[in-house]
Amino acid sequence: MHIPDGFVSVPVAGATGLASVAALFIAFERSQEAFGIRRAPILGLTTAFIFAAQMINFPVAGGTSGHLLGGTLAAIVLGSPWAGTLCIATVLIIQAVLFADGGITALGANIFNMAVVGVWVGWILTQTLQRLLGGFKGRLPLAAGIAAGVSVVVAAIACAIELALSGTAPVAIVLPAMTGVHILIGIGEGIITGGVLTYLATARPDLLPGEQQEFRGWSVPIVTIFLIAGVLSLFASAWPDGLEKVAEKTGFIDLAAKVRVIVPTPLADYSIKGLGPIGTSIAGLMGATVCFAVAFGIAKVVKPKNA
């Protein structure tokens, strides 16, 4: 769902950019309470995991692929939608700057769709479903899984509206196309989100919000993230993702080639020139490391003075 350069107009890019900057400013302020109990390692590891997981596109149907957005998962693990917004925004900024994944001019729209809409829809719906299911902790993966799937569809609708407002494609065409393909991708998002939360609740409850927070160690999370970014990423589906497929079908895919913003992206397309698959592994490991370092630094900056 990463919008490239050329897909959104200047007014839409400007409006979504301002909305995203405002959301991030508030998120910095409101995350202080969350980091008082969650600490920097959790934000760093969650951000690195979301980056690594987004490298793995899974096949959906009809030659289309999708990948984890991670907004709901990040908000639940961090115990705060504000922290979740910072987490996903960090991933999106690093992807755009270092990997040319998502346009620089569309960065505001991408942050708005995935780090604001995706996170908050997933968080609010999870809380609602959790109450309807009786409030039991054991039902959190189910509630979060359903919410995560819905959040992907809502984020896709926001993206479709931005494309329509930009004059990129008629709303009557792009809205049902984006919604339809992202319902399928949302099912994958829900399964992954529910599965990860089930694993964490069983094997690493210290990584989930609770009354007795005590981080139990780095080795398993780091090895898991590096395996995903450095090994499993090599098996990602080569099929176009949901937005790219819709752009191909509705005839606006060429807009991305007509508008190019030249910025240094040393790891463009998650590769290193001349190194083949090894380059993808190295790029993945570097990206996960940078995501961890940046998020860890953010957590240190925004934490309360007495934490």
Domain count for the chain, please give it: 1
Domain enclosing residue 96, as ranges: 10-302
Q: How far apart are CA 182 and CA 76, in angstroms?
A: 22
Question: Does residue 2 lie within any of the structural domains?
Answer: no
Q: Which two tokens stand for residue 46?
A: 């969650």
**Is the pLDDT score of 222 beyond 70?**
yes
| Segment 19-42, tens digit of pLDDT | 999 999 999 888 876 665 567 888
What's the pLDDT at 211?
56
Question: Does residue 1 lie within any of the structural domains?
Answer: no
Question: Does residue 3 lie within any of the structural domains?
Answer: no
Within 8 A by CB and 6+ apart from 217, the residues are: none
Q: How far apart are CA 37 and CA 27, in angstroms?
A: 16
Question: Does residue 190 lie within any of the structural domains?
Answer: yes
| Segment 107-139, tens digit of pLDDT | 999 999 999 999 999 999 999 999 999 878 889
| Segment 251-284, tens digit of pLDDT | 888 887 776 666 777 788 898 888 888 999 999 9
Mean pLDDT of 44-58: 95
Q: Count Cβ atoms below 10 Å from residue 35 Cβ, excluding itself.
A: 25
Name the DSSP letter for residue 243.
Answer: H
Question: Does residue 31 lie within any of the structural domains?
Answer: yes
Question: Does residue 5 lie within any of the structural domains?
Answer: no
Q: Write the CATH number for 31.
A: 1.10.1760.20
Q: How far apart are CA 118 and CA 104, in angstroms?
A: 20
